[in-house]
Structure 1
């Protein structure tokens, strides 16, 4: 019998992962919240993902697609959480009551979301399920039509952090059957701080807000929007991110080395703006897009809160969050997750490092 994998979330990443892992021989069950089922009528009706691009081509029959969370995760060896960051807290509470011994939960990506799942599991006495997170999706991918997934490229390496980190080797061995090029990092804190999206999305979103507002999606974000001034802001945010990693004593590298596209360079502009795969990507169409709604309050704001708690100055991140709040007409500091929600409020630096290492 094939190994069962549950994929929670039927968005861009969920479609790509379901098709890719089905082609690799896994029995995949996809789950979507009932409130969003109507957005995926084609997928629910036929249980087929029309796959194009770097992960293969064809009409891929998925084992099952359901709105029943218990049914989706029952018997699965690995549960992949492929949902926006603002869904993590509510989904963690729902999932906690269905978790089984021996299962692994992995967020693709996490941006510290693994801490929320781990905290919620412990609340209900589930102390035996490690939670992993990646620094980005395994794929550069978009849904280009109903149930139609275009995978432009794979991200390699794919950085993985695990809580507790003392289970990292074991968990990476099990996840390596799903994805190639996995790279262990010291902890889920290190992994969350390796996330690409807040770095490469937020400066372009803030500094191109007028163009985005007028273009309504007719805008090539990574070429038109990645000018020299945007690149300078991107590099400044990356420098602040590196300072946070240094404060924790974690390994660090520039964002340009983590993109994993077809261009290899020390220059973030060259890596992004010169990559033909990135050149195809248009949008955002409005300020509700996840580049704004996720990467500012749940990305940069989370980093800045962590930095502030451990005496690292992040003036550029702070300014981006403040401007994002103005543009979105929402307080990105308060709608994003707090250190309390992550379960790490008022911990000393050493206590936090011990917690993510040993649980």
Structure 2
């Protein structure tokens, strides 16, 4: 009997995961909130997704497509959450009512938000439920139309943090069933600080904001927009991210080594330029894009808030958040998740590391 998994979310990541896992023989329960089900009506009607690209070319059958969350997670061990960060707290509260012992909730990517799920589960007194997060979606992917996904490349290895960290080894071993090369990191904080999107999206979006608004989507983000000055700004942000990782004693690596380029280089501009998949990606059409609306308040801002609490100086990251607030017309410092939302406000570094290890 095929192993059952749940994929929550009907966007780019949800389509790619549901199609890829189904194509590889897993029994997939795909869930989309009823409010947004009309966006993927074709998938609901046909139970099919057409996939092309790096994970194969096929039209695959999805075993279950539903807007009933309880039905979606019934009898599955792994629950893959592939929804925007602004919806994580909603999904955390909903799952806290339904998950049961032995299940693992995997937030793809998390950027610390696995802590929100853990906090909500603890409120319900749930035991023997694991929460984990990845540093990125497993796929560089774009929807091509209703029920059609292009998977441009696969991120390998996929960094994984587990809450509580004492269950990392067993969780990563189980995850190998679905993704071949998960790489365990020290904690969900270490994993969140390895997230790619805030680093490689935000500088380009802010420094190319006028071009993005003018082009309305006809703009190749990584070829036209990733010029030397953008690369230098990206590297400056990366140095601050590494300083925060170092303050915890966590292993770190520069972002150029994680973006999937065809050559090994320490230069982020060269890494981007060496990957033909980046050349295919058009930039956001406007400042409503997740590159802005998600990666600034829900990506960079939590890093800066944690850095402030840990007395680590991150001036370039802070400037990106402040300028991003001016561009977007709202306060990106307060719009995203706070340390209180994550359940870690007021903790010393030692208390936080103990909490990450034990969950208590």
TM-score (norm. length: structure 1): 0.99
1:216 is the counterpart of 2:196: no
Correspondences of 1:72-111 after superposition (within 5 Å): 72-111=72-111
Corresponding residue for 2:16?
Answer: 16
Corresponding residue for 2:234?
Answer: 234
Query: How far apart, in 2, do the equivalents of 1:24 and 1:64 lie?
Result: 16
Q: Is the 8 A contact 2:101 2:127 kept in 1?
A: no
Corresponding residue for 2:313?
Answer: 313
Correspondences of 1:126-165 after superposition (within 5 Å): 126-165=126-165
Query: How far apart, in 1, do the equivalents of 2:349 and 2:255 lie?
Result: 24
Residue aligned with 2:221, SS: coil
Q: Is the 8 A contact 1:155 1:261 kept in 2?
A: no
Q: Is the 8 A contact 1:6 1:76 kept in 2?
A: yes
1:256 is the counterpart of 2:256: yes
Query: How far apart, in 1, do the equivalents of 2:283 and 2:33 lie?
Result: 25
1:54 is the counterpart of 2:54: yes
Residue aligned with 1:132, SS: strand
**Shift of the alpha carbon at 1:14?**
0.8
Q: Is the 8 A contact 1:157 1:260 kept in 2?
A: no
Residue aligned with 2:341, SS: helix
| 1:161-191 C-alpha deviation (Å, 9 max, x unpaired) | 0010010000001110000111000000000
Correspondences of 1:169-180 after superposition (within 5 Å): 169-180=169-180
| 1:132-171 C-alpha deviation (Å, 9 max, x unpaired) | 1000010111111111111111001100000100100000
Residue aligned with 1:223, SS: helix
1:125 is the counterpart of 2:122: no
Instruction: Detail structure 1 runs of 4+ shifted over 4 Å in the superposition.
Output: none
Q: Is the 8 A contact 2:216 2:286 kept in 1?
A: yes
| 1:299–1:277 distance in 2 versus 1, CA, 3 Å | same
Corresponding residue for 2:350?
Answer: 350
**Shift of the alpha carbon at 1:264?**
2.5
Residue aligned with 2:260, SS: coil
Corresponding residue for 1:282?
Answer: 282
Query: How far apart, in 1, do the equivalents of 2:135 and 2:320 lie?
Result: 21
Q: CA RMSD in A?
A: 0.8
Query: How far apart, in 1, do the equivalents of 2:279 and 2:209 lie?
Result: 19
Query: How far apart, in 2, do the equivalents of 1:261 and 1:170 lie?
Result: 30
**Shift of the alpha carbon at 1:307?**
0.2
Residue aligned with 1:222, SS: helix
Query: How far apart, in 1, do the equivalents of 2:57 and 2:229 lie?
Result: 38
Q: Is the 8 A contact 2:3 2:27 kept in 1?
A: yes
Q: Is the 8 A contact 2:260 2:275 kept in 1?
A: no
Corresponding residue for 2:7?
Answer: 7
Q: Is the 8 A contact 1:153 1:261 kept in 2?
A: no
Deviates more, 1:266-275 or 1:48-57: 266-275
Query: How far apart, in 2, do the equivalents of 1:246 and 1:140 lie?
Result: 28
Corresponding residue for 1:207?
Answer: 207
Corresponding residue for 2:39?
Answer: 39
Q: Which runs of 5+ in 1 are unaligned?
A: none
Q: Is the 8 A contact 1:51 1:58 kept in 2?
A: yes
Query: How far apart, in 2, do the equivalents of 1:66 and 1:167 lie?
Result: 31
Query: How far apart, in 2, do the equivalents of 1:271 and 1:47 lie?
Result: 38
Q: Is the 8 A contact 2:136 2:158 kept in 1?
A: yes
Aligned length: 359
Query: How far apart, in 2, do the equivalents of 1:292 and 1:338 lie?
Result: 18
**Shift of the alpha carbon at 1:260?**
2.4
Query: How far apart, in 2, do the equivalents of 1:328 and 1:38 lie?
Result: 28
Corresponding residue for 2:113?
Answer: 113
Q: Is the 8 A contact 1:159 1:191 kept in 2?
A: yes
